[in-house]
A = this chain, B = another copy of it.
Amino acid sequence: MTLYVNLAELLGARIEQGLYRPGDRLPSVRALSLEHGVSLSTVQQAYRLLEDNGLVAPRPKSGYFVPQHRTLPALPAIGRPAQRPVDISQWEHVVELVRSSPNKDVVQLGRGMPDVTGPTLKPLLRSLAQLSRRQDMPGLYYDTISGTPALREQVARLMLDSGCTLSANDLVITTGCHEALSASIRAVCEPGDIVAVDSPSFHGAMQTLKGLGMKAMEIPTDPLTGISLEALELALEQWPIKLIQVTPTCNNPLGYVMPEARKRALLNLAQRFDVAILEDDVYGDLAYTYPRPRTIKSFDDDGRVLLCSSFSKTLAPGLRIGWVAPGRYLERVLHMKYIGTGSTATQPQLAIADFIESGHYQPHLRRMRSQYQRSRDQMIDWVTRYFPAGTRVSRPQGSFLLWVELPEQFDTLKLNRVLLEQGVQIAMGSIFSASGKYRNCLRMNYAAVPTPVIEAAVRKVGENAIRLLAEEANAG
């Protein structure tokens, strides 16, 4: 099943290495089929994957070409995280990041904040205001712990787009995706259990594992296709893993969309070893392709996938409204949600339900998706222009987060300190690893419409990195 992925990786590597130059025509489908002894449709799938990732461009009737307009920087390397379950560290760096408040004097490239300033979000604010003026004040009452039925119905409807046929009763509304993750992990695991995670991985999910007393088994991850199934299989054979935690669609921080076939294969692995999957889909609706990619949950036929998500990235994080579709763990998750926070805030749930029901969600998504896609290209251009030679960059297929890999010896801890003094906030790579790897990496947010202020900030990041590298070289 991973034939086409292997082929895509091979071709991708050739392009990255400069074997084919911008504008070059690539080998025909037929030629590659012969060369590699695979079917025509396998080659076509491989090309489609490369196309999704911006590495090749089709021209009608003439085949595939290396895109003209720009040379993309190389992709990040596949990580080599710890080969055994580890206790999670890095809280002291995470807390520095999440303690920061919105601040006009700092360009905040570090947090997972969407752009909330667009006009398509206005109806949500209107709903909120209207609810506050209603005589019966529904927002002031305790909600039922599984969440307002009106919202659960709308979420169930939205989830059809990712291939899930669920009903309102299959869902639990939570205080952001964060609580969905936390309640799900607690529903499945006991302290001391081992959880396999894609690496690099969202720092919040990792700190949640830490706080709940779990160990993380970090699995290497391909920057185009996601968690290595081969490495995962090996880990499942070697360790008593209880849960596989992944963000397969518009991954944070790498931005890839795991191909559908690999999603299915991941589910098969989980079934074979009888472990649960926690699928974090918080950026799933922000994939640049339409219709949006399917979730692993959509293939789940025995209730082992707990799908977690929220409106934090698609609408606004300050509302703190998320959900989980916990499959067979529904009752456990409900208990864990109850003990964490009781019920969820009522008013934002009602406002979001109204926003979706009135048809405002899809137009908003469409607008944000194309804004983010354009900002991505701009951000990659800036990094190409301002960052040290040899910098590698992810190719996000959705959302608004870019992963940047500096030369191996570089340490972003120092860079981060310097930048904070200069009014620029980034997210250091080390917090995306349980064990403090990825010290030479950083993550930047490109949600906002590009402005000279943002360009100047990105430029500062690059120039400081160049200076620090030079200083290091001199010292060394």
Contacts and interface: CB of A to CB of B under 8 A. Distances in A.
A343 B320 contact: yes
A141 B102 contact: yes
A317 B142 contact: yes
Contact of A341 (B100, B178, B347): B178
Contact of A129 (B95, B117, B133, B334): B133
A341 B140 contact: no
A295 interface: no
Interface residues of A, number: 66
A456 interface: no
- Between A100, A121, A133, A142, the greatest number of chain B beta carbons within 10 A of the residue's beta carbon is seen for A142
Given A344-B320, A345-B348, A348-B345, A144 B101 contact: yes
- Between A101, A140, A208, A210, the greatest number of chain B beta carbons within 10 A of the residue's beta carbon is seen for A140
Given A132-B129, A191-B213, A343-B320, A145 B338 contact: no
Contact of A111 (B125, B142, B344): B142
A146 B317 contact: no
B318 A144 contact: no
A459 interface: no
Contacts of A129: 128-129, 132-133
Q: Chain A binding site: helix, strand, loop or mixed by DSSP?
A: helix
A139 B348 CA distance: 11
A243 interface: no
A40 interface: no
A175 interface: yes
A469 interface: no
Contact of A175 (B126, B149, B317, B320): B320
A19 interface: no
A339 B141 contact: no
Interface in A135-155: 137-146, 148-149
A466 interface: no
Given A128-B128, A132-B125, A341 B338 contact: no
B139 A318 contact: yes
A443 to B, nearest CB: 15
Nearest to A336: B211
B341 A98 contact: no
A91 interface: yes
Interface in A80-96: 91, 94-95
A132 to B, nearest CB: 4
B340 A179 contact: yes
Interface in A158-180: 175-176, 178-179
Nearest to A331: B95
A67 interface: no
23 contacts: A94-B338, A95-B145, A95-B335, A95-B338, A98-B338, A101-B144, A102-B141, A117-B137, A132-B132, A138-B318, A139-B316, A139-B319, A141-B317, A175-B320, A178-B339, A182-B341, A210-B339, A211-B335, A211-B336, A317-B343, A318-B347, A319-B347, A345-B348
Given A98-B142, A211-B338, 12 more contacts: A95-B334, A100-B144, A101-B143, A102-B141, A129-B133, A175-B340, A175-B342, A204-B342, A208-B339, A320-B344, A340-B341, A341-B341
